[in-house]
Amino acid sequence: MAWLLEFRRILKPGGVVIATTRPRHFLIECDVLRKNKDVKEFQHGAVASFQNIKECLSDYDNGKFCHSPTGGGGVLSTSFYGETAIPRKYAMERWSQHFPLVDFICDDEHNSFDQNVIIAKK
């Protein structure tokens, strides 16, 4: 929410915020990767993410913000860096308190890219 407040502060009227976030199926992919013995280096962050898959899927399905503070190495500490999955319900309820939402494009519905896209306008 701190980022949303900052975007609201710095954007001029008519300014647009476009944010991407992980879709629901990414949570499942993380769980599948944990069971795979041949994980590529770039997949290590996903393997470390969303460890309690049942709880994470339940949270996502109930419109809750899902974040797994994995860090990213170096200066990318777990205090602010990790994997995040934001469902439509959360964006509609929480983001719309700060910005009118223009669109929420859900990869689980379109299967054309690997992110949800949240578009809001000041």
β-partners of residue 104 are 118
3 Cβ contact partners less than 8 Å away, ≥ 6 residues apart: none
Look at residue 109 and tell me whether its pLDDT is greater than 70. Answer: no
Look at residue 54 and tell me whether its pLDDT is greater than 80. Answer: yes
Structure token pair of residue 92: 């509609």
Q: What is the spatial distance between Cα 121 and Cα 11, in angstroms, rounded to a whole number?
A: 9
The whole domain housing 67 covers 2-121
Per-residue pLDDT tens over the stretch 64-82: 999 999 888 789 888 888 9
pTM, two decimals, is 0.86
Q: Output the pLDDT for position 81.
A: 86
* 70 or 56: which leads in pLDDT: 56
The tally of domains found in the chain comes to 1
